[in-house]
Amino acid sequence: MKPTITIIGAGSVEFTRELLGDILSFPELGAVRVVLHDIDTERLETAEAIARATARAAGAQPEVVSTTDRRRALDGADYVINTIAVGGHTATVRDFEIPAKYGLNQTIADTIGVGGIFRGLRTFPVLAGIAEDMAQVCPDAWLLNYTNPMAMNVTYLHRVAPDLKVLGLCHSVYWTMVGLCELIDVPYDEVSYWSAGVNHQAWVLRWERGGQNLYPLLDERIAADPELQRRVRVDMYRRLGHYPTETSEHSSEYVPWYLHDPDEVQRLRLNVGEYVSISEANLAEYQRLRAELADTDTLPIDTGSTEYAPQVIHSLETGTPRVISANVVNAGLITNLPDGLAVEVPALLDSLGAHPMAVGDLPPQCAALNRSFLGPVDLTVRAAVEGDRRLVRAAAMVDPNTAATLSVDQIAELCDELTAAHGDLLPEPLRTHH
């Protein structure tokens, strides 16, 4: 039986292209059935053209189906890759512009913070629908989630669909390790590492080559480069002793120390509002790809799989063992973080599935930061599950960057304004009713 891989939100064409390039590069997966789903018909057509062009470039012969009917797309799936962005670019811009009026700086706004809270709230209703469809038409399938806010989405799915097999996948740990190895000029293939925490704020607990700790080499490299010291993650590493696994722009938003202070923003070369330009670049890239597809029927593929979903599928299908970083609900995996909320830990993949590994206690200073990150995660999920609007405000009040910048009255007003702006995208009980 050839596996069926369904991509929900396939209209994120650049990402769909990368995923399919990786999947179809595995000889064992050349004949998979790929089902593409999106609610935007033009983007769906583009995604289908990309799938076919990528298959030709890979010399693979998958069966490619595309449909705007989600339940049909999910019917009989073995793997469901979720890459949706509810509300698209418009909602993203809203998540930056409205808080900016209040003087609240954000950089990426997709994880915690008011941007993350409202991205989560507008994503949950769609996740609930996907989970419900899967329970009926593909109850044994794995849901491989890429959509942010990762920790909130994985926690929410656990609350509403506890039997669903969910892995949250993010490439931040992989790229952090690649970047660290480049900094100290050690080949990535020669190192082993152990990372754990929460998504976008995990910690490199061990990093070794041939049994030798590589952190001292990093210390030398940082000491020799004053510009390197002007980055948030390096600043956090020097103070906390463990390197965080997401970019400085991301990292700055999850702590109360940097973004509210213009001097710190300058010292650490932070690009406030960075994600708006990334989102605009994604739109431009989509148009460029559409134009390219008009002139060619193959697209070059970048082989050498680095994304996790293709590796998960390959390992589960072939039994090839691999270890990746995965987001799963904490059930005693990290002993000094609360159970029932999503954490990011190493997971072993094999033919039986994904096996998250127990990490034990994180260093106490790292766990303390992760706990404050999980406050908004927990409250945002509860706000949606319980239909309690007060908890939306509470989530923003305990958010580190928001609380360091705004008064409680401003936070309440900002939450009301974002609630009104996002309108029908939010869960029914949380909407503004006039």
Q: Any binding-site annotation on 82?
A: no
Report whether 336 contacts 367 (CB < 8 A). Answer: yes
Entry field: residues in the chain: 434
Cα 90 to its chain centre, rounded Å, is 19
Give 246's DSSP letter: S
| Distance from C-alpha of 416 to C-alpha of 393, rounded to nearest angstrom | 9
CA max distance for the chain: 65
Q: Any binding-site annotation on 200?
A: yes
Which has the closest alpha carbon to 103: 416, 430, 431, 406? 406
Amino acid 112 reads I
Which has the closest alpha carbon to 47: 15, 78, 25? 15
Which has the closest alpha carbon to 68: 91, 90, 43? 43
- Angle at which helix 150-160 crosses helix 113-137, to 10 degrees, equals 40
Q: Which helix (H) or strand (E) holds 151?
A: helix 150-160
Catalytic residue selected from 171, 242, 250, 433: 171
Q: Taking the CA of residue 134 as centre, how many other CA atoms within 13 Å lie in the half-sphere pointing to its CB?
A: 28
Q: Following CA atoms 411, 416, 417, 423 in sequence, which dihedral angle do they give, to the nearest 10 degrees?
A: 140
Which has the closest alpha carbon to 237: 251, 225, 253? 251
Q: Any binding-site annotation on 199?
A: no
* Token couple for 67: 């449909």
- CA 157 to each of CA 123, 130, 169, 355, 393: distance values in angstroms, whole numbers, following the listed order: 11, 10, 14, 18, 22
Q: Any binding-site annotation on 238?
A: no
| Distance from C-alpha of 125 to C-alpha of 338, rounded to nearest angstrom | 25
The DSSP code sequence of 7-63 is: EETTT-HHHHHHHHHHHHHSGGGTT-EEEEE-S-HHHHHHHHHHHHHHHHHHT---E
* 314 in catalytic set: no
* Token couple for 406: 């705004």
Point out the annotated binding site for substrate: 148, 267
Point out the annotated binding site for Mn(2+): 170, 200
Point out the annotated binding site: 148, 170, 200, 267
Instruction: Provide the annotated active-site residues.
Output: 171
